[in-house]
Amino acid sequence: MTDGARPFAAAAGEAPVPAAVDVIRAKRDGVPLPARDIRWVIGAYLRGEIAEEQMSALLMAIYFRGMDAAELRAWTGAMLDSGERLDLGPVGLPTVDKHSTGGVGDKVSLILAPLVAACGAAVPQLSGRGLGHTGGTLDKLESIPGWRAALSNDEMLGVLRRAGCVICAAGAGLAPADRRLYALRDVTGTVESIPLIASSIMSKKIAEGTGALVLDVKVGSGAFMRDVADARLLAQTMVALGTEYGVRTTALLTRMDTPLGQAVGNAVEVEESVATLAGHGPPDLVEVVLTLATQMLRLAGVDADPRAALADGRALARYRDMIAAQDGDPDAPLPVAPHTRSVPAPASGWLARLDARAVGNAAWRLGAGRARKEDPVSAAAGVLCLAKPGDWVEQGQPLLELRADDETRFGAALAALGDAIAVGAERPAVPGPVIDQVGG
């Protein structure tokens, strides 16, 4: 279909209808859309020839009808072709990135990017901000005095050459169609569509020019995907898209029923990340980081031991280089909240549950998160998990430490916790954080 043409003929006696309406009807009725129609729709929407309500209707039709492999490939390609693609060739090293679908206490990128860089691969990581109960990598790093998330393409390449890794915001020129469509999905109840999630993530990752990609698909109460089967389908879909577009891609399914590590917030997660880079990280966080690093190095074709780079200080040195290259001060004190409140154990016994979503919501209510993308966040607010499932606790022992700039926020945070904590008489089985791998 070309611009202005109608993809299907009107019925006898029927007035001509806009092309967009015919595309909406076709998808509504389960008719697969040809690639030319998908390209036209994305282009016409960006040109302002398709109204917001029409695109909203098409997104809802996709939400209910899904997309087959050919449609998804075309939809992703159209978003990819709506903007520029970065050329990372001048970096002179194998490139590999990681993407997480988001969770509570997920500060993995802050550790992983410099760790993999210390092993000899270049890591160009375009990251986002937090929304609701999940944290955002850029929000965390912005708690470091002077650090900049917004870099030009030339600045991004400069940091990558200097430090071997960069974590920054995606430029306006990368997959601009995705930016428009994501905002629309957010207000039309169509975010939870696996084809739309997969094309959104992969169009940006392919556009950034990385040679390989490892996906961390979180599963559980604190994750976007609560069901393992749904998470596996999302992982398979993204791996297939990456492979089709020439990006070596694999995915790990990791647990997110309990916060990852001990810190949930912004500055507190930076602090925990630095401690992990210095060899003092919590076991669950270290396991996820090392597993992802191993996969990233394998896909990049780099033979190196990430555990050694974490132990001998090379990863910490790369982190400091990256922060300084983005105008941050790695030695500056991090913000500290003036108010704290402890949450005690309700009984003596084994800690059986510490619900990730509830803890994430509590951190949000304390000021560490936002309800809308334009809302400010507190650098110092957050939650410290002083015990984790599988630990023995005594009644009255502090299990959580809440931190806030404004002590009036504690009431809402305590309410958000609800029944997040459960203590039992029997020691619970605590499975490892990595569930499975999808793709080669």
Q: Active-site residue numbers? A: 99, 178, 185, 200, 204
Residue 432 three-state SS: coil
Looking only at the bridges linking them, the beta strands covering 165-169 and 123-127 are parallel
How far, in Å, are 123, 180, 264, 265 from residue 384 at the CA level? 29, 36, 6, 9
How far, in Å, are 106, 135, 151, 329, 381 from residue 147 at the CA level? 20, 18, 11, 7, 18
CA–chain centroid gap for 168, Å, is 13
In this structure, what token pair is assigned to residue 415? 């309410």
- CA 234, CA 195: separation in Å to the nearest integer? 8
Give the sign of the dihedral formed by CA 307, CA 246, CA 226, CA 182.
Answer: positive
DSSP of 300-322, one letter per residue?
HT----HHHHHHSSHHHHHHHHH
DSSP of 255-305, one letter per residue?
E-SS-SSSEEESHHHHHHHHHHHTT---HHHHHHHHHHHHHHHHHHT----
In this structure, what token pair is assigned to residue 64? 């209910």
DSSP of 168-184, one letter per residue?
EEPPTTSSHHHHHHHHH
